Amino acid sequence: MEIHRAPQVPAHWRHALLAIGNFDGVHLGHRAMLATLVSQARARATPAIAFTFDPHPLTLVRPEAVPPALTTMSRRLELLAETGIDGVLVYPTDRALLELTADQFFHNIIRDQFAATGLVEGPNFCFGKNRQGTIDRLREFCDAAGMSLEVVDALDQGDGMVSSTTVRQAILDGRIAQANDLLGSRYRIAGVVVEGERRGRTINVPTANLDEIETVLPKDGVYAGRTLVDGTWWPTATNVGPNPTFAEARRKIEAHLIGFTGDLYGRQIEFEFIARLRDTQTFAGIDALKTQLATDIAQTKTLATPG
């Protein structure tokens, strides 16, 4: 999959089919839309291109309203590559872009820069200044320009429409299994390993303390998952939240990589959530804590070890 970050469109992408959006999480709804994009593009022998933005447009106009991200841009591109599309244009969001009216966005970018032959979008797609361009307005533009427009129905998973918002709320609620089902992949965070209190080493449960995490974190508790280090996945029991047993109120992410030995300080690692094991608890003493940690580690091994 090709990736271009400049606003200029490569010549061999002209006359492509486009899907435009933030694609945060690249969830099942996005995947259904992109599967339609790929299918139609293959039938027409033209590129299937996803058009996304960096940073999120709200960052410039209402930074306080920007929702916590489900994916970093690098992770988003990895997930988009899995859909089979031919390329992604990461368009730099600036004031000039946000000032384009719906008409200007369509004609200046979709028609002039891309010379797109068609679009594939979801029913809630909006575009142009103040999101004034609706899907109905887009259809009018496409019809006038002789372009196709395929509107892919939103996916319904029983509890409502699959969206980045519903995935985000599931994660915030600690409903990791449901979030993973909605994503079609395991939710993943990336962080830099920083110095901690080193208490874990004294009870033979060393932890990597993660910082500089750019994406949403789940509800406090203990989670089973796995951590990627140098191409190898390690079963990992991770605590998200404070450590009340040691009177620590600060929210931390402490990951115990089962079986791993080595120095991770200063390195970026990725952790993938598989299941929520339990709530944060206060233990009467070290022995009670060690007993519970042994249970957490055993459960994590069962859930996160292949085969």
74-111 pLDDT tens trace: 999 999 999 999 999 999 999 999 999 999 999 999 99
Contact 224, 204 (CB under 8 A): no
pLDDT bin (cut points 50, 70, 90) of residue 3 is very high
Residue 283's pLDDT is what?
A: 85
The DSSP code sequence of the chain is -EEE-SSSPPGGGTT-EEEES--TT--HHHHHHHHHHHHHHHHHT--EEEEEEES-THHHH-GGGPPPBSS-HHHHHHHHHTTT-SEEEEEEP-HHHHT--HHHIIIIIIIIIT--SEEEE-TT--BSGGG-B-HHHHHHHHHHHT-EEEEPPPPB-SSSB--HHHHHHHHHTT-HHHHHHHHTS--EEEEEEE----HHHHTT---EEEE---B--PSSEEEEEEEEETTEEEEEEEEEEEEGGGTEEEEEEEEEETT--S--TT-EEEEEEEEEEE-----SSHHHHHHHHHHHHHHHHHHHS--
256-267 pLDDT tens trace: 999 999 999 999
238-248 pLDDT tens trace: 999 987 666 57
Residue 85 token pair: 């599309």
State pTM to two decimals.
0.93
Residue 57's pLDDT is what?
A: 87
Strand pairing report for 118-121 and 232-243? unpaired
Closest CA to 270 of 236, 244, 301, 219: 236
193-232 pLDDT tens trace: 998 766 656 678 999 999 999 999 999 999 999 999 999 9
pLDDT bin (cut points 50, 70, 90) of residue 65 is confident
Mean pLDDT along residues 266-276: 97
Domains along the chain? 2-151 (3.40.50.620), 186-304 (2.40.30.30)
Residue 7's pLDDT is what?
A: 79
Cβ-defined contacts of 233-236 (< 8 Å, 24+): 233/272, 233/304, 234/258, 234/259, 234/260, 235/259, 235/300, 235/301, 235/303, 235/304, 235/305, 236/271, 236/300, 236/304
| Cα 302 from Cα 307, distance rounded (Å) | 9
Residue 8's pLDDT is what?
A: 82
Contact 266, 178 (CB under 8 A): no
Share of the chain above pLDDT 70, in %: 95
> Looking at the predicted structure, is the pLDDT value of residue 118 above 90?
yes
Mean pLDDT along residues 48-61: 92
Residue 58's pLDDT is what?
A: 84
Mean pLDDT along residues 175-185: 96
